[in-house]
């Protein structure tokens, strides 16, 4: 069961401005990454469903967060169907993220009052998702669509809340381009968690990057 209400999740995403996105098959590595992000000021985190027994890692991670990072909101990403969404909701997911919109998944999350953030690559897809009750839509892949795509959605649909994921960089120029275009928040994955950083267990580096990125976003917004 989720520990945070739908409004708490959405408000936190809007306030923080970044959603770290990460997966690793080693639970201790994931715990260290999450704790570093938490120490760096992050209060929302997306664990992606991408490896063998990922749901088991998620369940253990959620128990760890409840004790060690009580204010952190944990969600599940790369969820492509309703059955997988149900599994992660049972394990305590506070929000569900998908690479595309799925009509069956939206029924599950709406029934449980959990935010569903589906991937959208056209203004039609954003409109369909909003009509189905999705408050926040994931613009994916961001590096392919570009900041002008955000502007072109916000022009006729200024109420739209959009999270850009895919190719977003933790650099002021790149971040500014997305927020200036009207993005609500950004998802940061591979550029945020460098392979060598994880392999070398540079947890303080992750903490600093989170803190620096939050300060940058606060400044440019």
pLDDT tens figures, 16-56: 999 999 999 999 999 999 999 999 999 999 999 998 899 99
Peptide bond before residue 131 is cis, with ω within 30 degrees of 0 = no
Cβ contact 194:169 at 8 Å:
no
Question: Does a structural domain hold residue 65?
Answer: yes
Question: Does a structural domain hold residue 205?
Answer: yes
Question: Does a structural domain hold residue 81?
Answer: yes
Is residue 190 predicted with pLDDT exceeding 90? Answer: no
Given this model, what pLDDT does residue 128 score?
A: 97
Percent of the chain with pLDDT over 90: 96
pLDDT digits 0-9 by tens, 207-219: 999 999 999 999 9
Q: What domain range includes position 136?
A: 6-220
Given this model, what pLDDT does residue 20 score?
A: 97
Given this model, what pLDDT does residue 79 score?
A: 98
Question: Does a structural domain hold residue 121?
Answer: yes
Only one residue has tokens 């650099």, namely: 171
- Residue-level length of the chain: 221
Instruction: Provide the mean pLDDT of the chain.
Output: 96
CATH code of 43's domain: 3.20.20.70
Question: Does a structural domain hold residue 153?
Answer: yes
Q: Which of 19, 1, 7 is nearest to 184 (CA)?
A: 19
What's the Cα-to-Cα distance from 5 to each of 134, 144, 197, rounded to whole Å?
A: 15, 33, 33
**Mean pLDDT score, 134-155:** 96
Question: Does a structural domain hold residue 1?
Answer: no
Is residue 191 predicted with pLDDT exceeding 90? Answer: no
d(CA 140, CA 167) in angstroms, rounded, equals: 9
Question: Does a structural domain hold residue 150?
Answer: yes
| Domain count within the chain | 1
Question: Does a structural domain hold residue 115?
Answer: yes
Given this model, what pLDDT does residue 1 score?
A: 79
pLDDT digits 0-9 by tens, 60-78: 999 999 999 999 999 999 9
- Predicted TM-score of the model (pTM): 0.96
Is residue 119 predicted with pLDDT exceeding 90? Answer: yes
């Amino acid at each position: 069961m989720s520990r945070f209400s739908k409004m708490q999740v959405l408000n936190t995403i809007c306030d923080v401005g970044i959603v770290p996105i990460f997966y690793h098959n080693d639970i201790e590595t994931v715990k260290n990454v999450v704790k570093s992000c938490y120490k760096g000021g992050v209060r929302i985190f997306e664990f992606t469903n991408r490896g063998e027994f990922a749901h088991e890692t998620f369940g253990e991670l959620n128990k760890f967060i409840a004790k060690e990072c009580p204010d952190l909101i944990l969600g599940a990403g790369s969820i492509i169907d309703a059955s997988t969404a149900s599994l992660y909701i049972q394990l305590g997911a506070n929000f569900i993220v998908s690479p595309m919109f799925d009509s069956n998944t939206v029924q599950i999350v709406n029934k449980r009052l959990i935010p569903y953030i589906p991937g959208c690559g056209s203004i039609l897809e954003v409109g369909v998702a909003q009509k189905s009750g999705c408050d926040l839509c994931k613009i994916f892949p961001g590096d392919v669509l570009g900041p002008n795509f955000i502007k072109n959605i916000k022009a006729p649909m200024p109420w739209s809340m959009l999270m850009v994921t895919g190719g977003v960089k933790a650099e002021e120029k790149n971040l500014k381009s997305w927020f200036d275009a009207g993005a609500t928040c950004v998802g940061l994955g591979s550029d945020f968690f460098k392979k060598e950083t994880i392999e070398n267990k540079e947890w303080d580096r992750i903490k600093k990057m989170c803190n620096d990125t939050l300060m940058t976003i606060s400044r440019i917004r």
